[in-house]
Amino acid sequence: MIYTIVHHLHSTLATLILLLLLFRLFLKLRKSNLLNKPWVKIPAHLFDTVIILLGLTLLHFNNWVFHGWLVLKLIAIIIYILSTFYAMKKATNSIQVLLFGILSTASILFIFALAHSKSIFFL
């Protein structure tokens, strides 16, 4: 029962993270001042932190067993974090924002595919 609740929260939060990323990238490309508003900045960090904690909780329920797809998922999470950081903070022009944004989005979609298939051979 608790595992199911944590799993559903984890999945729902992953979808919210993707939607929030796309929204923030849109704002960044439009050079909007809304990016500096707390209601845009805080949820991004909060959601990323909570989803990692939920992921660790799911690992705990599975006795900390790491399968190959989980290792790939962790690598994709690191790529997501770094590419989002570069898109939102370090990019100096719209092309860089777009390229790092595409990499961030692709990383999340790759994570979704891995989580859904639970295999490194999901294609």
Residue 29 in domain: yes
Count of domains in the chain?
A: 1
| Cut 0.75: pTM above it | yes
Q: Is residue 26 part of a domain?
A: yes
Residue 122 falls inside a structural domain: no
Give the residue numbers spanning the domain of 51: 2-117
Give CA separation, 77 vs 31, 32, 40, 71, 74, in Å: 26, 27, 21, 10, 5
57-107 confidence digits (pLDDT tens): 998 998 888 788 888 999 999 999 999 999 999 999 999 999 999 999 999
